[in-house]
């Protein structure tokens, strides 16, 4: 009996996780929650696995609270889809305290990863470039077997049969190939595990106290968690990069050894993906900065020699090894032209990486504020880490933005995927701030967001159209929140700058350890909530819910941002009205009085009779017939292509027309419909609505 009691006391954590799994499993069914076959099994399974890896130890207090949150939200799931999402996510989040506690034990990092594996393998769709990489891997093992489909030609490939992707990363996934997509995901989980274990070793060597805890946070927080197990080279590159930093910062080794290793690692990073050349440059620069004595001036000569050697090799192999998407010449031309002609867009992309609602890290990983706030402290306490992790991250980021500008986020792939190289420095930085209350809150809110993504992975796919899937799921189509959120695609300069300023103030407050930082964060969050609930008076046309429109279609009909990649003016989708059946019915604002004024932003493409637009409210109507002119191409485009812009909606001038309509008391809606579109079969002829605003 005593042995039994002792076992229960010592293993209370293990028993709690097992018991919680049973409770969740049964109550999921009692409450009739959706997805009993997937989430209703996977979440209890993750609790069982957490219990198994947890071993001896007390019950994590926070897990109990999160379990209670899950059970209570599960009870209310029938009140709306949002509660259903939160219930499932809180159910998974309950294991996070256990995983973080496990990190301190033997093989803690591996043990912390195990409970997440089933969720990643089963739930995350195999999409985007993943099948593409898998097909290249297949090409090494069993060419043409078509398990992942055929290799499709992508824009910017050297030829129809040769992909622009580097071959080293797909080759490293060969051991996983026999197990199909599961095997490939497994290989990527191994890469992530290796990267995180080495990162924790680096933190340990540099004297950080919470080295294992931080490493597990790397798994659980966006951007790390969103690329966990996905067939993308981010974690692989991070693994190689951390090896480089470990060797280069090992003072027991000679300068020659450290230089040789750094050069090899830099080369490997480029061979993984050309995008990581920025990390290579950062590594070499860090080596130069951190080397003492006159010998360091030999290093630039060595680096220059290596670049010349690499380019000569490239010439010899016909550009196959170091091929950049769209060609090396275009790449170099882009790097020179972008800062000169597209400075505002580059600055916008830099800001968007933090605050943009679709791609920015602030919304998916608010802990980033603490990461940025902790950088001065990191520099002071662990200058080695600051230089060796920070410089490669910075140069990588700048190169990414300079090269890809508005396309830096690589949507529709998961948020933060492209920013994975900044994770190590920000983790190290947040490690210096962990005692702050506001930082703890930010980390736990970020973990909550990660839990939503783990349980509902489809919410992570955005299409660079100004609408965030995560926000849409929480706020719905009728919310006014999109008017107050910063978007680089639907740029509203005051809103965008306000959020940048708010982020700046918060970073400053956290860095200064202000006791009001938490209150300010809560105040901003609540203010946004108050604004979000206001009656809607402006509508982005493509977001108008079906309830308020009849027919119409979205232009372009493919949501993939690749279709809008070479739109030079705006990259928003538009609502295409091409037949007399198409119409929009918007509810009148309750305080509009006896007349209403609307501003309609649209493009009118004439390919037959002149098109027009009509607004009507009851018996009253007003209309205008007009067509848009084709815009001149921007100056910088001329350096890449000579031809004029086609007459397509995205190249047309946007028209802003104000209408004033008398309002009958009985009327509740304003109808907007196209004119001059009957009896025409001309392609693309019609009205392309962008935005409607009640003034």
As given in the structure block, the two tokens for residue 345 are 């867009």
551 sits near other proteins (criterion: CB under 8 A):
yes
Among 483, 543, 582, 614, binds other proteins (CB under 8 A): 582
441 sits near other proteins (criterion: CB under 8 A):
yes
335 sits near other proteins (criterion: CB under 8 A):
no
72 sits near other proteins (criterion: CB under 8 A):
yes
CA distances from 288 to 248, 282, 410, 659 (A): 11, 10, 32, 64
CB of 539 to other proteins, least distance (A): 14
Among 300, 339, 476, 638, binds other proteins (CB under 8 A): 476
Among 2, 159, 546, 643, binds other proteins (CB under 8 A): 546
Distance between CA atoms of residues 188 and 182, nearest Å:
10
Mark the segment that binds other proteins (CB under 8 A) among 73-81, 244-252, 639-647, 684-692: 73-81
CB of 188 to other proteins, least distance (A): 29
65 sits near other proteins (criterion: CB under 8 A):
yes
Among 481, 541, 613, 687, binds other proteins (CB under 8 A): 481
Site for other proteins in 395-414 (CB under 8 A): none
CB of 75 to other proteins, least distance (A): 6
Site for other proteins in 489-528 (CB under 8 A): 516, 519, 522-523, 525-528
Q: Pick between residue 61 and residue 642 the one whose CB is nearest to other proteins.
A: 61
Mark the segment that binds other proteins (CB under 8 A) among 28-36, 303-311, 422-430, 622-630: 28-36
426 sits near other proteins (criterion: CB under 8 A):
no
CB of 29 to other proteins, least distance (A): 5
From 454, 329, 353, select the one nearest 408 (Cα to Cα): 353
Specify the long-range contacts of residues 513-517, CB closer than 8 Å, at least 24 apart: 513/436, 517/436, 517/438
- Give the other-Cβ count within 10 Å of 616's Cβ: 18
The b-or-e profile of 236-268 (16+ CB within 10 A means b, else e) is bbbbbbbbbbbbbbeeeeeeeebbebbbebbeb
Q: Pick between residue 130 and residue 582 the one whose CB is nearest to other proteins.
A: 582
- Give the other-Cβ count within 10 Å of 591's Cβ: 8
Helices marked H in 512-638: 517-532
Q: Pick between residue 297 and residue 516 the one whose CB is nearest to other proteins.
A: 516
From 577, 620, 613, select the one nearest 596 (Cα to Cα): 620
| Helix (H) or strand (E) segment spanning residue 682 | none
Alpha carbon 66 to chain centroid distance?
A: 26
Distance between CA atoms of residues 12 and 5, nearest Å:
10
Distance between CA atoms of residues 357 and 344, nearest Å:
19
**Rounded to the nearest 10 degrees, what angle do helices 180-205 and 234-248 cross at?**
30
CB of 587 to other proteins, least distance (A): 13
4 sits near other proteins (criterion: CB under 8 A):
no
Distance between CA atoms of residues 339 and 347, nearest Å:
10
461 sits near other proteins (criterion: CB under 8 A):
no
Among 48, 52, 62, 645, binds other proteins (CB under 8 A): 62
CB of 527 to other proteins, least distance (A): 6
Give the footprint of other proteins on this chain (CB under 8 A).
29-36, 61-62, 65, 68-69, 72-73, 75-84, 86, 441, 444-445, 448, 474-479, 481, 516, 519, 522-523, 525-534, 545-547, 550-551, 553, 579, 581-583
């Amino acid at each position: 009996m005593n042995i039994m009691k002792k076992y229960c006391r010592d293993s209370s954590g293990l028993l709690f996780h097992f018991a919680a799994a049973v409770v969740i499993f049964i109550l999921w069914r009692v409450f009739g929650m959706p997805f009993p076959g997937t989430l209703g099994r996977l979440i209890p399974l993750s609790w069982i696995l957490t219990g198994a890896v947890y071993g001896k130890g007390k019950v994590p207090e926070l897990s109990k609270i999160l379990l209670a949150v899950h059970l209570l939200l599960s009870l209310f799931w029938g009140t709306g889809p949002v509660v259903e999402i939160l219930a499932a996510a809180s159910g998974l989040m309950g294991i996070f305290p256990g995983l973080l506690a496990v990190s301190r034990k033997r093989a803690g990092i591996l043990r912390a990863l195990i409970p997440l594996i089933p969720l990643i393998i089963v739930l995350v769709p195999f999409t985007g470039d993943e099948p593409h990489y898998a097909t290249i891997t297949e090409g090494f093992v069993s060419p043409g077997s078509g398990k992942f489909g055929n290799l499709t030609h992508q824009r910017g490939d050297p030829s129809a049969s040769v992909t622009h992707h580097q071959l080293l990363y797909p080759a490293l996934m060969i051991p996983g190939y026999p197990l199909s997509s599961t095997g490939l995901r497994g290989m990527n989980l191994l890469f992530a595990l290796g990267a995180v274990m080495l990162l924790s070793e680096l933190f340990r060597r540099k004297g950080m106290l919470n080295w294992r805890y931080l490493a597990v946070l790397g798994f659980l927080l966006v951007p790390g968690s969103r690329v966990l197990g996905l067939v993308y080279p981010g974690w692989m590159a991070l693994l190689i990069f951390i090896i480089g930093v470990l060797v280069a910062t090992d003072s027991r080794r000679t300068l020659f050894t450290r230089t040789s290793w750094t050069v090899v690692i830099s080369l490997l990073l480029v061979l993984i993906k050309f995008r990581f050349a920025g990390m290579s440059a950062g590594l070499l620069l860090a080596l130069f900065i951190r080397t003492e004595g006159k010998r360091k001036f030999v290093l630039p000569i060595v680096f220059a020699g290596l670049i010349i050697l690499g380019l000569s090799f490239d010439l010899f192999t016909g550009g196959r090894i170091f091929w950049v998407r769209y060609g090396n010449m275009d790449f170099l031309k882009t790097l020179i032209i972008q800062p000169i002609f597209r400075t505002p867009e580059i600055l916008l992309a830099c800001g968007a990486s933090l605050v943009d609602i679709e791609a920015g890290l602030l919304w998916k990983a608010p802990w980033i504020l603490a990461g940025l706030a902790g950088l001065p402290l990191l520099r002071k306490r662990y200058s080695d880490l600051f230089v060796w992790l920070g410089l490669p991250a910075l140069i990588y980021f700048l190169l990414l933005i300079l090269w890809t500008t508005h396309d830096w986020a690589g949507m529709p792939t998961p948020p933060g995927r492209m920013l994975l190289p900044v994770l190590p420095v920000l983790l190290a930085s947040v490690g210096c701030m962990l005692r702050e209350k506001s930082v703890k809150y930010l980390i736990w809110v970020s973990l909550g967001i990660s839990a939503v993504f783990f349980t509902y992975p489809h919410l992570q796919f955005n299409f660079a159209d100004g609408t965030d899937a995560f926000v849409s799921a929480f706020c719905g189509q009728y919310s006014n929140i999109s008017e107050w959120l910063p978007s680089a695609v639907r740029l509203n300069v005051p809103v965008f700058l306000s959020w940048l300023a708010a982020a700046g103030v918060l970073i400053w407050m956290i860095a200064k350890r202000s006791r009001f930082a938490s209150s300010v964060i809560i105040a901003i969050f609540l203010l946004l909530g108050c604004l979000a609930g206001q009656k809607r008076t402006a509508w982005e046309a493509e977001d108008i819910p079906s309830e308020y429109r009849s027919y119409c279609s979205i232009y372009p009909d493919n949501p993939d941002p690749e279709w809008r990649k070479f739109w030079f003016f705006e990259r928003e989708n538009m609502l295409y009205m091409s037949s007399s059946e198409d119409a929009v019915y918007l509810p009148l604002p309750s305080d509009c009085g006896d007349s209403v004024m609307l501003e309609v932003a649209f493009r009118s493409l004439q390919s037959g009779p002149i098109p027009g637009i009509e607004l009507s409210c009851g018996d009253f109507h007003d209309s205008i017939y007009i067509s848009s002119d084709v815009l001149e191409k921007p100056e910088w485009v001329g350096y890449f292509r000579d031809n004029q812009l086609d007459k397509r909606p995205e190249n047309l001038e946007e028209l802003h027309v104000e209408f004033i309509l008398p309002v009958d008391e009985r009327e509740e809606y304003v109808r907007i419909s196209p004119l001059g579109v009957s009896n025409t079969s001309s392609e693309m002829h019609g009205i392309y609505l962008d935005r409607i605003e009640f003034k």
